[in-house]
Amino acid sequence: MKLLILRPRVGGDATAVRAGRLGFDPVVAPLFHYRSLPWSPPDPKTVDAVLLTSAAAVRLGGDGLARFRSLPVQAVGTATADAARLAGFTDITTSGKDADAALIQLAARGHRVILHLAGREHIAVERPSLSIQRIPVYAADAVDRLPDAAAAALADRAVVLLHSPRAATVFAGLVRTRTTVRIACFSSAVADAANAGWAGVAVATHPTDDALFAAARLLCDQELDGMLEPQ
């Protein structure tokens, strides 16, 4: 079963390795190219906890991250948590779904002042009880045409893995015909961003690659059973 992975290269390659171990045939064709942004770290004494919604924020955050390693970290998804651990953070809690769930957990543990290290394009989720300082530390520049490798994979009936709402939006804008394309989405927010018209849509039950692979398998099984209809 062929999978089309549209994540930026580092994360995409990691997903491809995991997919290959499970017997999938992965194709990596990034829709974005990441780059670091300059930023000025605030005084760690003014922050209760750090929110990380993407592993890219850890990989591209630079030397400024070191100032916050002693603080509690709320990470969205296991990949983000793993990246934070590799970067030297030790007090890490993983959220089950998205930034909103992460903020709920932070508030429940009594944290009030949150440093969110984010991408230039992000969803600014808020909670009434929290003061959130959101600093962009990286940018993800989108391609303006579907990569050749992606077009070839789609022609070969690959199931598309969509990891973020922005990726879903960009991909939807680049695809000419949706009715033959099946998408497996990291969350319901990703599926919503992709909109309608696809040959098949499946949503991961948890924000992990394993759950996303299971969603992709579901699409394949449905097709074999003749159950797929345009969504």
Domains of the chain as residue ranges with CATH: 2-31+143-224 (3.40.50.10090), 36-139 (3.40.50.10090)
Strand-strand pairing, 32-36 and 131-142: antiparallel
- Residue 133's nearest CA partner among 117, 121, 119 is 117
pLDDT one-digit tens code per residue, 88-133: 999 999 986 678 888 989 999 999 999 999 999 887 788 888 999 9
C-alpha span between 207 and 95 (Å, rounded): 9
pLDDT one-digit tens code per residue, 31-49: 999 999 999 999 999 999 9
pLDDT one-digit tens code per residue, 162-196: 998 999 999 999 999 999 999 999 999 899 999 99
Backbone angles phi, psi at 174, to 5 degrees: -100, -20
Q: Is the CB of residue 74 less than 8 Å from the CB of residue 80?
A: no
